Amino acid sequence: MAATVPYVVQPGSIVRILEKARDAKTPDRFNQDFLETKLGFRGGNYRQFIPFAKKLGLLNSDGTPTDLYKRYRNPHTSKAAMAQALRNGYREIFERNEYANSLNREQFKGLVVEITGLEQRDRVVQLICQTFESLKAMSDFESKLPQTAADDAEPDKTEGGDKAVRKESAGGLRDFDMNLSYTINLVLPKTDDPAVFNAIFRSLRENLLKK
């Protein structure tokens, strides 16, 4: 159960890597070569960063940086992006308490014990708490992460998207691809004169049944 709550054995190293990644160019793929060669972090413990970053939603499964990673690198959205990354990675924690970031250390530790089933003195519990606390210092949970253009776009609801519902005519007028049906109830006058009926149905045809 504890494996579902992410942590690293050296929480301070994660902070250093993130700070270095924020200043470096966004790579096509964040792999071991980039971590070691471009960022300068070599060694077994540093290798934990990549799977950890994937759990936070900063990297895709193939190592490509996500939009959240790019927002983290933006100084204006960096802290809000990291807060969202913590919500992603510690989903179980925030499902139990949506204000988990506001808990004190003992309260947060109690929540970790509750979720993992481990003893309070267990090393894993300590590392989970330390990892979360380290990244919380880089986060701003009060700032709302702005939506991207993709977030604002209304998704297509049909195979043809919006075009299936609305068409643009050559003259700039919009035609709606819509089928309507209606029922007309007539109260006919009492008469034996067929000219009256002819006049009524001719008026219906000319005024209501035009296409």
Q: Per-residue confidence of the chain (211 residues) as pLDDT tens digits?
A: 444 899 999 999 999 999 999 999 999 999 999 999 999 999 888 999 999 999 999 999 999 999 999 999 999 999 999 999 999 999 999 999 999 999 999 999 999 999 999 999 999 999 999 999 999 999 999 998 887 644 433 334 444 444 433 434 334 444 444 455 555 666 666 666 667 667 776 766 666 655 4
Q: Cβ–Cβ contacts within 10 Å for residue 11, how many?
A: 18
Cβ atoms of 69 and 58 closer than 8 Å = yes
Residue 120 burial class via C-beta count within 10 angstroms: exposed 0-12, middle 13-18, buried 19 and up: exposed
Three-point CA angle 24, 12, 67, nearest 5°: 40
Measure the CA–CA gap between 141 and 93, rounded to whole angstroms. Answer: 15
DSSP 45: G
- Map residue 174 onto helix, strand or coil: strand
State pTM to two decimals: 0.68
